[in-house]
Amino acid sequence: MSARYLSVFVPLLLGMTFIPGWGMHAALSCSALATSYLIFRFGWFQGAWRWAGFASLLWALEELAWGYGRLVAEVPTVLTDSLYFTGSSLWGIALLSMPRKRLPSMNLLFGLPIFALLIWLNLQSYHSSALLFPLSDALLLLLAVPSVEAALQSKAHEGKILWGFGFYVKALASALYGWLSPDLTNQHPFLLLVIFAYLFIGVGCWLELKGTRGTLVPAIFTIVGLEAVVGTVLYMLYKVSSATPIVFAGIAGVLGYLLFFGIAILLITDRKIRLRAEARLKNYSQLLERLLSLRTDQLAIRGLLEALLFHLKPVFASLEGIVLRSDTLYSLGQTKGYAFPIVADGNELGHLYFSETPKNSELLDALSPLLANKIQTTLGHISNQAQAFTDPLTGLLNRRGMQNASMVLVERARQNGQHLSLAIIDLDFFKRVNDQFGHDVGDKALIFLAGILKRNVRQNDLAVRWGGEEFLLILYGANLRIAKDVVKRISYELKSSHIPPISWTLTLSAGVAGGDKIAEDFNLTDCLHEADKMLLEAKAKGRDRIASFEPARLTQHKKQV
């Protein structure tokens, strides 16, 4: 349901009241059913509102039974009364279950003497048995007043004012019915007031449950409804002959209270619209400032995703995740729901994901070029960085890339008290491959070995092309035994493979060093020298073997595998 549907439904409903016979009763039942539907539709998963939905449904059934009894065949009064008072009881439970149950201040309680007057008038009438209805509705109004006051103080949704106003109109209709019905041959004005009450309750609940804020719907609906309610009450007073000055004074107080509600809604709505507009403008300005100041040259992909979500979330509350596409797919957060494309030069760079369609999508359209620019700049920087730190042939880190990455890895191992091992691997008789088959086949062998290394290292490990046919592994959390096992697996996979047109089995030699928990005086260069010595030893003793070295400061022995 939206304001557009509301502008169609309400006139149709009121138009039904002009149909002779069944029109007024049908409109009464439809208004109660619509209220029940709106509450169930948007508040089913909220306990208090579920009670309210069942309460409104019982009221709708009571209106149907009452209308059927007046138009077709008599319906037992006990049935209609039971439905009505059960519905009122459930509404009472719902109102007591809602927050803001503090006693209201005197500014809203001044209306109680008016109800005392109406009840007194009922007691003086010939239909004093009907007093239970206005008393029941007045009690519901009292239970609703704390929520209304919270909204008047801008501490709760303005929809509470509307449905609180609906309870006021309903109580007014019940009281006037008991007093004026003997003097009015046409009861349609009373029924019309009840229809207005249901409409106010339904629209107020819809606005609150849907979370619609800062719109003109409450103000417009209140102005139109207020005019209709006041006009109906004045019409009834005009038609009766028993109105005395004190009665007119009481009714004037009632109408003044209605005007108070209307003016309050207008003022609060206007204030909230202005405050929200100012807050949005401030948020938009801050968002643009933050996006423009993002240093994309200092961000990795994940850092960019986190920064974009962090800056966009305050403005787009339903934003849940982001996906970027380059050579690899990168994502952060939830990637389901409404997807907004990020496009640059006709190319789709990724998507922003929302739990629901964002209300300020025009701002997204305006921000899209800036987001795309930041993403392209970051991806370009990362691409340039990757080229500078990556060996173009094998895709492994080069020496420069290892220097940057190893500092982070060593510090992480030091902080977490983890072992760290190094292994330098050399492809045996590689010069023979180049001499006999050419450098293309040699490159093919290097690429093949690099693939084996990638498959055997973990996310926290580093695989580096150290130079020529030499490769370096830095293994995080691995002691010497684990490091040697890793190199053995690599050696076994290489021996088990055939790289055409090479006619012999390729083997490797390796030197392994380190294996200790990282101490404060750990020196990576010293560890590299130790691994290099072990590699030379493995080659000197016939190749196709692994030699390991334990630092002299811990153990003074050396072992060959």
DSSP line for 156-185:
S-THHHHHHHHHHHHHHHHHHHHHHGGG-S
What local confidence, expressed as pLDDT, does residue 384 receive? 66
Domain assignment present for 392: no
pLDDT(63) > 90: no
Domain assignment present for 286: no
Same domain, 489 and 369: no
What local confidence, expressed as pLDDT, does residue 473 receive? 96
3-class DSSP state of 5 = helix
Taking residues 321-348, report their average pLDDT.
80
Of 142-146, 520-524, 527-531, highest mean pLDDT: 527-531
Higher pLDDT, 294 or 217: 217
Query: Going by C-beta distance under 8 Å and a sequence separation of 6 or more, which residues neighbour residue 326?
Result: 349, 379
3-class DSSP state of 153 = coil
For 127-172, write each residue's pLDDT tens digit.
555 677 888 888 888 888 888 777 766 677 778 878 888 888 888 8
Same domain, 188 and 218: yes
Same domain, 338 and 235: no
**Would you call the peptide bond into 501 cis, given omega within 30 degrees of 0 as the criterion?**
yes
Taking residues 311-335, report their average pLDDT.
79
Least confident among 169-173, 194-198, 431-435, 557-561: 557-561
Which domain does 457 fall in, by range? 399-560
What local confidence, expressed as pLDDT, does residue 559 receive? 41
Domain assignment present for 283: no
| Average pLDDT over the chain, rounded to an integer | 78
**CA-closest candidate to residue 299, choices 288, 311, 287:** 311
Residue that is last in its domain, among 277, 308, 325: 277
pLDDT(46) > 60: yes
Return the CATH number at 531.
3.30.70.270
Taking residues 232-239, report their average pLDDT.
72
For 473-516, write each residue's pLDDT tens digit.
999 999 999 999 999 999 999 999 999 999 999 999 999 999 88
Of the chain, the percentage scoring pLDDT greater than 70 comes to 70
Taking residues 419-446, report their average pLDDT.
94
**CA-closest candidate to residue 284, choices 313, 257, 315:** 315
Please give the structure tokens belonging to residue 142. 């009292």
The length of the chain in residues reads: 561
Same domain, 406 and 434: yes
**CA-closest candidate to residue 507, choices 521, 499, 517, 495:** 495
What local confidence, expressed as pLDDT, does residue 510 receive? 96
Sign of the Cα torsion 306, 312, 313, 316 reads negative
Query: Going by C-beta distance under 8 Å and a sequence separation of 6 or more, which residues neighbour residue 280?
Result: 315, 360
CB 377 within 8 A of CB 296: yes
- C-alpha neighbours within 13 Å on the C-beta side of residue 189: 23
Same domain, 174 and 29: yes
Of the chain, the percentage scoring pLDDT greater than 90 comes to 24
| CA distance to 82, 283, 318, per residue, from 93 (Å) | 16, 40, 32
How far apart are alpha carbons 225 and 203 in whole angstroms? 11
Domain assignment present for 227: yes
Question: Alpha helix locations (H) across 439-523?
Answer: 439-456, 480-495
Domain assignment present for 289: no
pLDDT(51) > 80: yes
Taking residues 82-107, report their average pLDDT.
79
**CA-closest candidate to residue 227, choices 219, 238, 239:** 219
Domain assignment present for 247: yes
Taking residues 291-299, report their average pLDDT.
53
How far apart are alpha carbons 236 and 484 in whole angstroms? 98
Residue that is last in its domain, among 232, 252, 277: 277
Same domain, 321 and 424: no
Same domain, 50 and 168: yes
The one-character DSSP state at 558 is: E
Taking residues 516-542, report their average pLDDT.
91
pLDDT(387) > 90: no
What local confidence, expressed as pLDDT, does residue 278 receive? 62
Same domain, 436 and 549: yes
Domain count, the chain: 3
Taking residues 193-204, report their average pLDDT.
87
Per-residue pLDDT band at 251 (split at 50, 70, 90): low
Higher pLDDT, 37 or 244: 37
Per-residue pLDDT band at 115 (split at 50, 70, 90): low
Same domain, 95 and 152: yes
Residue that is last in its domain, among 386, 416, 451: 386
Of 22-31, 68-77, 415-424, highest mean pLDDT: 415-424
Taking residues 520-545, report their average pLDDT.
92
Domain assignment present for 498: yes
Same domain, 317 and 420: no
How far apart are alpha carbons 448 and 426 in whole angstroms? 13
Same domain, 261 and 321: no
Of 387-396, 414-423, 551-560, highest mean pLDDT: 414-423
What local confidence, expressed as pLDDT, does residue 133 receive? 82
Sign of the Cα torsion 466, 472, 474, 479 reads negative
CB 427 within 8 A of CB 508: yes
Higher pLDDT, 13 or 481: 481
Higher pLDDT, 281 or 22: 22
Same domain, 97 and 214: yes
What local confidence, expressed as pLDDT, does residue 431 receive? 93
Least confident among 275-279, 347-351, 417-421: 275-279
Domain assignment present for 266: yes
